[in-house]
Structure 1
Amino acid sequence: MPHRNAPLTETGRLRLARCVVEDGWPLRRAAERFQVSPTTAQRWAGRYRLLGEAGMTDRSSRPHHSPRRTPTRTERRIIKVRLTRRWGPARIAHLLGLVPSTVHRVLNRFGLARLSHLDRATGRTIRRYERDRAGELVHVDIKKLGNIPDGGGHKTLGRRAGRKNRAGVGYSYIHTAVDDHSRLAYSEILADEKKETATGFWQRAHAYFTSVGITVERVLTDNGACYRSRDWRDALARAGIAHKRTRPYRPQTNGKVERLNRTLLDEWAYAKPYRSEQERRDTFPGWLHSYNHHRGHTALAGKPPASRVPNLTGQYT
């Protein structure tokens, strides 16, 4: 396939070469006819004499020899460290006395996946998936978050004063349910993670998904005590919803809600220095609305979760 900036296609090159070689045109006349330089006309005529029509294709620009390329022995050491220790380029470079950019090029050359795409426990590439329809699978999880004392924490008052002001403020527990297909999220800030609290949250989350036309078929949770309780089991059974739990020590199985937890920490919980826990909580409904209706999601081609839920109200507010 010709280079995108090439002035001639393979057919044009062949016509030019035949005009020079077979019809006896002068190079300058052929160059003017095909609107290229005489040097270019000479190149294609020479290749036609040598190789015929096969010489009209582009050649690889890769050099025959690369004397400055990283030695094979060094490449093998880099790959060995990556596979055995699962380190990034900077740590590998420090261990082997190399430059991080060199290590990065070697890893790319051999197609080694990014660390974020690997299961740290096994080193295998994480298999990404997405359910075909909304409600087929809903991910549920709880994120424990330290409360902000009145007057602000260390981000507002500084480390020393913030540490003194923090005593006895306790924790909040963010219960979240995320639909696998649409990434639509329902979330509440609650006082604990007891079985009664988790079960009550799910009943409200289920009612929310039902109100927007999503029929929940299965729920995925970790192995927390509240999700192994009889209350939780009975609540799902009454609604005809199957319950699936992740394998122990494999939070990436519940990755979509885990990723949302990280997003809400970055974009809401720690986004600015709040003066109190109530001030932070007051901003949460607005942030969640923005997440569902306006914030672009990379897995949805830059569109928000609302784009996959036609019945969602307030979609354009």
Structure 2
Amino acid sequence: MTLRRVLVEWTMTEQRYRAVLEVDAGVPVTEVAERFGVSRQAVHRWIGWYREEGLDGLANRSSRPQTSPAQTPPEVEAAICELRRTHPRWGARRIEFELGRNGCPGPVPSRITIHRVLVRHGLVDVMPRRRRRQDYRRWQREVPMELWQLDIVDGIRLADGSETKIVTGVDDHSRFCVIAAVVRRATGRAVCLAFVEALRGFGVPDEVLTDNGKQFTGRFTKPRPAEVMFERICRENGIVARNTKPRTPTTTGKVERFHQTLQRELLDQIEVWPDLQTAQAAIDAFRNEYNTDRPHQSLDMAFPADRFAARPTDERLPLRLPAALAAATPEPGPVPAPAAVPVTSTVTPTSVMLSANGVDPLDLAVEFTRAVPLSGNLAVCGQQFWLGPDRAGAMVTFWADTTVVHLLTNGVRLKTVPSRLTVAHLQRLLDEGGRLAGPPPIPTGQPGDPIEVDRTVNATGLIGLAGRQHPIGYHFAGRRLTVRLDGGLLHLIDNGVLLRSLPNPLTPAEHARIRDARPAGPSPTPAPEPVRVQRRISCRGSLTVARQRIHVGMVHAGRTVTVESADHTFRVYDGDELLTEAARTTTLPIARFKVRKPEPPRRSPLPPDPRNATESHPPAAASPKSPTCARNPMA
């Protein structure tokens, strides 16, 4: 390989030397350049190199420039790489801002230069561009305090095993965080307390935008819409409460983007927090930095506090709040010193009614939260609650007294079981971080009221009620359904949707023997109308729907029938007569709803031909092996 390279170089040098000799012999430079296939300037360069350095000057040489005045200084590159390694979430735009704010060892490079430096050192992954930044259109209000976006986010797990929520709020114009409150449970009362604190601190906005959570709106409340406390506060204080369309989180994109920043820069750094007060202090510190010291790219690297302005104090009207909420959030003022409490005294909450001895509580009910272990079997004060391994890690809220225990998650009741807890157990749970419970989530029912119970359908379509097995349909095999017994009807419910109604096989006396029964909640939502299509039964007695073949019977060959898709089954009707019912095994949608050709008319048998009356041969009988073809005119 080295010998070949030397030969090539000598050949190039020899060609240049011959060109120089021809020019010295008097041949015009233009003619020499044309013969050697180069430009006149190249020939002149060769002549100059030969005169200055001799034959060695005609060898190949690098065309790389000696200096590059536009090259980024090494000190600046080192500063860029150091900022990126220290803050892995910072991009080229943020690094450019920080170099300009904190000082740069040289001239501040442009954003694209910083990006190229990061790519050259392998500190960013190059990704294909989706859309240009100019193609996006940003929507925002013109002035601050015109619109607030509110939402609720989780992600803080405490050392006691509970998981808290964060009520957040962002001003639409300035991206200023107005609410960042950590609450144990995202109830309507807790959300309203955080909202009222922001109203007293910054004033009343013109509008608020939230999702359709039950804390913010009651328009989806069953059986009829109702006004919740949040909507009442907005109405009485002149705030327009707006809600997004269902399943459209991009409508509240600014507060959702705040959640992403909060998660990446704070919550992901600590997995378990010691207590709620420590988490709230960290959230407050992050909120102050976010508002005053963190540039926002959507604001052209400005700080949210630079664009936010609260309502002037002299323009604020007194807040109109519900009585229960006003007592819990007094107006800001001097805080009186707490009264000294003797260490030996026992402080009993004023809301707990005491028995005749003045010590033991009466009708004590406690709410507390626990995390489901990996086994799915949760134990509280010696009583075990089976929730299943599929709910491992989920947070479950308990409402417990000495008679019954309700288990809920996100406000939805999972199950209700008899309580084995004593008053001492409840008092212990209250001391360990529990809270006095309000009214039970499900009121105690009266005899004859509708009841519900959860059951898993076995492989043959049976469920167990009051010691007996009852058929409900083999197509429900393996599913966990809610059975509602309401008078003479038995309803099958899945996630609040009514699947099927059957006659109630139990007597009122047997209702009391049902295990794990509970008072029924709101009436279920009827299932959507089934899809009906038309099909022609083939000569072999089958039809096809969504590429699933259903056998009806050869006796029905040639008929046009109606196929109904409902309850995860296909039901075949001939008029009002149900011919067959088959479980749906296909997941494909139904694409054809009508038969492709009209049903041919049935032909009556022809009269005998008088010309064949004298023939001695009897008419041929139909073959017993193909009766369908004899009945089917299309065969």
Report the TM-score, using the length of structure 1 for normalisation.
0.50
Q: RMSD of aligned C-alpha atoms?
A: 2.8
In structure 1, the residue matched to 2:196 is 203
| Residue 124 of structure 2 is aligned to residue 131 of structure 1 | no
Question: In the TM superposition, what is the alpha-carbon distance from 1:201 to its structure 2 partner?
Answer: 1.5
Counterpart of 1:208, as a letter, is G
The one of 155, 159, 162 aligned to 1:145: 155
Question: In the TM superposition, what is the alpha-carbon distance from 1:232 to its structure 2 partner?
Answer: 1.0
How is 1:1-317 mapped onto 2 (pairs within 5 angstroms)?
Answer: 104=128, 113=131, 127-149=137-159, 169-185=161-177, 186-210=179-203, 215-229=204-218, 230-272=228-270, 276-278=274-276, 279-309=278-308
% of aligned pairs identical? 26
SS in 2 for 1:235: helix
In structure 1, the residue matched to 2:27 is none
> Is the Cα contact below 8 Å between 2:210 and 2:243 reproduced in 1?
yes
Q: Which has the larger radius of gyration?
A: 2
Question: In the TM superposition, what is the alpha-carbon distance from 1:224 to its structure 2 partner?
Answer: 0.3
Question: In the TM superposition, what is the alpha-carbon distance from 1:287 to its structure 2 partner?
Answer: 1.1
Question: In the TM superposition, what is the alpha-carbon distance from 1:275 to its structure 2 partner?
Answer: 5.9
Cα 1:191/1:207, change in 2 over 3 Å: same
The separation in 1 between residues aligned to 2:309 and 2:162, in whole angstroms, is 40
> Is the Cα contact below 8 Å between 1:269 and 1:280 reproduced in 2?
no
> Is the Cα contact below 8 Å between 1:219 and 1:243 reproduced in 2?
yes
Question: In the TM superposition, what is the alpha-carbon distance from 1:195 to its structure 2 partner?
Answer: 1.2
SS in 2 for 1:182: coil
Counterpart of 1:143, as a letter, is V
Question: In the TM superposition, what is the alpha-carbon distance from 1:282 to its structure 2 partner?
Answer: 2.9
SS in 1 for 2:173: coil
Counterpart of 2:167, as a letter, is H
The separation in 2 between residues aligned to 1:189 and 1:127, in whole angstroms, is 33
The separation in 2 between residues aligned to 1:177 and 1:146, in whole angstroms, is 17
Cα 1:193/1:311, change in 2 over 3 Å: closer
SS in 1 for 2:142: coil
Counterpart of 1:309, as a letter, is F
Over residues 125-165 of structure 1, what are the superposed CA-to-partner deviations in whole Å (9 max), with x where a residue is unaligned? 8753011001111000000124142xxxxxxxxxxxxxxxx
Counterpart of 2:186, as a letter, is E
Q: Hey, which of these two has a bigger chunk of helix by percent?
A: 1
Over residues 187-240 of structure 1, what are the superposed CA-to-partner deviations in whole Å (9 max), with x where a residue is unaligned? 111111111111222111122222xxxx51000000000111421111001110
Q: Hey, which of these two has a bigger chunk of strand by percent?
A: 2
Unmatched tracts of structure 1, length 5 or more: 1-37, 40-99, 118-124, 150-167, 313-317
The separation in 2 between residues aligned to 1:201 and 1:273, in whole angstroms, is 24
SS in 2 for 1:227: coil
SS in 1 for 2:181: strand
Aligned residues: 177
Counterpart of 1:145, as a letter, is G
Q: Which has the higher mean CA deviation after the structures are superposed, 268-277 or 128-137?
A: 268-277
Question: In the TM superposition, what is the alpha-carbon distance from 1:277 to its structure 2 partner?
Answer: 4.1
Over residues 260-295 of structure 1, what are the superposed CA-to-partner deviations in whole Å (9 max), with x where a residue is unaligned? 011111111113566634544432211111111111
Unmatched tracts of structure 2, length 5 or more: 1-39, 42-124, 219-227, 312-635
> Is the Cα contact below 8 Å between 1:297 and 1:304 reproduced in 2?
yes
Counterpart of 1:147, as a letter, is R
SS in 2 for 1:113: coil
SS in 2 for 1:270: helix
> Is the Cα contact below 8 Å between 1:274 and 1:280 reproduced in 2?
no
The separation in 2 between residues aligned to 1:132 and 1:311, in whole angstroms, is 15
Higher relative contact order (CA 8 A, sep 6+): 1
Over residues 54-75 of structure 1, what are the superposed CA-to-partner deviations in whole Å (9 max), with x where a residue is unaligned? xxxxxxxxxxxxxxxxxxxxxx
The separation in 1 between residues aligned to 2:210 and 2:282, in whole angstroms, is 27
Cα 1:133/1:310, change in 2 over 3 Å: closer
The separation in 2 between residues aligned to 1:224 and 1:126, in whole angstroms, is 29
The separation in 2 between residues aligned to 1:136 and 1:233, in whole angstroms, is 17
SS in 2 for 1:220: strand
Counterpart of 1:305, as a letter, is P
The separation in 2 between residues aligned to 1:298 and 1:139, in whole angstroms, is 19
